[in-house]
């Protein structure tokens, strides 16, 4: 596959053990490439968040393996795995996960500073990232002074600030009304299409379907459908 960004091969995850164990992922193989906006859909408990955690190297599967940008993740030390994540993956969550005491630009800068940049450099990149999500004028506001959609745009700016080839988003529109949810979905679609990144979005929001280039449907830990739609 050209521009392969993430490959998961025969991945299984079981939580717990014995007869109380839950098989959250059951032999899942998927390949994703740059430029795709893949929507992972399916009922509650079907394994979507678990899949995203495995793709994002936050969770090690019991069997099978994941490669990120051509690099197999299995066997990497904790530190090397951290560097691989930092360089290649930006995360966006339903609950925004912003720091309440920091303003918008500081919330974005922090991801850059953790990656080892100076304060000055971090600030410059953070302002650019906020500009790219249309929030330059709100850079000094704290999360409580921002709307839900604006908070999510700060979170997207933070995910983009290290310029990763991959963005993973878990239910990014679930806390938002229809209008702001649509704006966020459209923004993620542009990040995939125009910026040629891989964007994987977990959602059960049917309104988001029109923004995807591919739809992966999950049920009981398995992929039951995988369609290119645009
Ligand atoms: N940390 C955990 N410990 C035990 N079981 C878990 C854990 N996380 C998830 N599970 C179980 O694994 C299965 C898949 O969960 P997962 O969170 O991946 O589903 P999901 O598709 O994201 O659901 P939702 O749409 O409700 O977010 C579910 O049966 C869930 O109860
Ligand atoms: Mg989930």
pTM: 0.95
Give the chain as a 3 state SS string. Answer: CCCEEEEEEEEEEEECCHHHCEEEEEEEEEEEECCCEEEEECCCCCCHHHHHHHHCCCCCCCEEEEEECCEECCCCCHHHHHHHHHHHEEEEECCCCCCCCCCHHHHHHHHHHHCCCCHHHHHHHHHHHHHHCCCHHHCCCCHHHCCHHHHHHHHHHHHHCCCCCEEEEECCCCCCCHHHHHHHHHHHHHHHHCCCCEEEEECCCHHHHHHCCEEEEEECCEEEEEEECC
Å from CA of 42 to ligand 1 middle: 12
- Express each pLDDT in 145-198 by its tens digit: 999 999 999 999 999 999 999 999 999 999 898 899 999 999 999 999 999 999
The predicted-structure confidence for 56-101, as pLDDT tens digits, reads as follows 999 999 999 999 999 999 989 999 999 999 999 999 988 889 999 9
> Ligand 1: distance of its center to the CA of 49 in Å?
7
Q: Is the pLDDT of residue 49 over 90?
A: yes
Ligand 1: atom nearest CA of 221 is 14
Cα–Cα distance, 178 to 204 (Å, whole number): 13
Ligand nearest to the CA of 41: 1
Ligand 1 neighbour 132 (Cβ under 6 A):
no
* pLDDT band of 18, cuts 50, 70, 90: confident
On the 0-12 / 13-18 / 19+ scale of CB atoms within 10 A, 222 is: middle
CATH class of 4-228: alpha beta
Q: What's the gap in Å between 123 CA and the centre of ligand 2?
A: 33
Taking the CA of 53 as reference, the closest ligand is 1
The neighbouring-strand residues paired with 33 are 4
Ligand number nearest to the C-alpha of 170 = 2
pLDDT band at 21; cut points 50, 70, 90: very high
């Amino acid at each position: 596959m050209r521009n392969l960004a993430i490959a998961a091969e025969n991945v299984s995850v079981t939580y717990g053990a014995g007869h109380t164990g839950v098989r959250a992922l059951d032999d899942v193989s998927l390949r994703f490439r740059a430029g795709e906006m893949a929507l992972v859909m399916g009922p509650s408990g079907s394994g979507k968040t678990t899949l995203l955690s495995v793709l994002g190297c936050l969770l090690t599967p019991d069997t099978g393996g994941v490669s990120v940008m051509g690099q197999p993740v299995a066997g990497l030390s904790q530190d090397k795995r951290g560097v691989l994540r930092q360089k290649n993956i930006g995360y966006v969550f339903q609950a925004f996960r912003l720091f309440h005491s920091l303003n918008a630009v500081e919330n974005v800068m922090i991801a850059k500073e953790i990656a080892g940049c100076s304060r000055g450099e971090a600030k410059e990149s953070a302002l650019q990232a906020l500009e790219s999500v249309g929030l330059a004028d709100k850079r000094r506001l704290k999360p409580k002074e921002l709307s839900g959609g604006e908070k999510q745009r700060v979170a997207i700016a933070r995910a983009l600030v290290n310029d990763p080839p991959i963005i993973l988003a878990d239910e990014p529109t679930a806390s938002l009304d229809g209008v702001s949810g649509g704006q966020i979905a459209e923004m993620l679609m542009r990040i995939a299409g125009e910026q040629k990144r891989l964007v994987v979005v977990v959602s059960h929001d049917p309104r988001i379907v029109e923004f995807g280039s591919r739809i992966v449907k999950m049920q009981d830990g398995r992929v039951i459908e995988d369609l290119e739609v645009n």
